[in-house]
Amino acid sequence: MATVTTQAPIHETTIDRALSGEGTPEAAWQGWARLNALPEVDPAELVPLGGRAVVVAPHPDDEVLGTGGLLARLSEISRQILIVAVTDGTASHPNSSEWPPERLARVRPQETRAALQRLRLRQVQVARLGFQDGAPGRIEASLSGALSEYLQPGDIVFTTWRYDGHPDHEAAGRAVHAAAQALDLPCVEVPLWTWHWASPDDTRVPWSRARRIVLDGATHARKLRAVQAFRSQLDPDATTGQAAVLPEHVLTRLTRPFEVVLI
């Protein structure tokens, strides 16, 4: 994920997805009966035998925060996995002397590799596109074409939801959705910042499309350990006074013992 300093652009509709403050508390989500009653989907059903999971992540860590448990489960049942890293997350610490863009460009891919090792993934490939972080217009304009080199028949494509609230997430979501649609491939969308700006029973979210991937205790523990690999995002920045990019209240919403996808 990356630092959010502006409201996400409005696209196709006038819904408000402003990202400010600490967002909707996890206690509110846990108190919503519908969340725990969402229909379950099995990873083997989501990615059938012979299929490949392609996860397109706008920033390093989005693939683990959104689908880390799913990826671990898919690996256990011998599904092939391709992670496409759209950016290297170099805009996460603006004006920082501790985390300048050139250091982030080195460290954040290393953090991803460590996280994937902690998930114990087999048959996983990572493609890094090196797009500019924090440039949603460029991401949307170029990503669909770039994906044509990687997508193939039988792929099931995962990416951030087109209305997730973060400009890069939404741009990537639109581009990936268009690329998958052009190749007649399934596209599964993953809400991440949605849990921040939305609220229980929020009519702006297509809950009828939401499915729950339940993580057993061992898989959940592996995801929690994998998230800890992203130290650049978990510690405050002493040189700017900026709090952690992923503070506890954000992590709590993204490290539940289940993951939610929109199918």
pLDDT digits (tens, 9 = 90+) for 72-95: 999 999 999 999 999 999 999 999
Question: H or E stretch including 262?
Answer: strand 258-262
**Closest by CA position to 83, among listed 129, 39, 145, 132:** 129
β-pair partners for 202: none
DSSP secondary structure code for residue 35 in this structure: H
Confidence band of 14 (pLDDT split at 50, 70, 90): very low
What is the DSSP code string of 125-138? EEEEEEEPTT-HHH
Confidence band of 2 (pLDDT split at 50, 70, 90): low
- Looking at this protein, which amino acid is placed at residue 1? M
Please report, to the nearest 10 degrees, the dihedral formed by the alpha carbons of residues 56, 61, 66, 70 taken in order. Answer: 80
pLDDT digits (tens, 9 = 90+) for 187-217: 999 999 999 999 999 999 999 999 999 999 9
Confidence band of 9 (pLDDT split at 50, 70, 90): very low
β-pair partners for 84: 56, 127
CA distance 166 to 145: 22
Hey, what domains does the chain have and what are their CATH numbers? 26-262 (3.40.50.10320)
Q: Is 81 exposed, middle or buried (0-12, 13-18, 19+ CB in 10 A)?
A: buried
Confidence band of 20 (pLDDT split at 50, 70, 90): confident
Q: What pTM was computed for the model?
A: 0.92
Percent of the chain with pLDDT over 90: 91
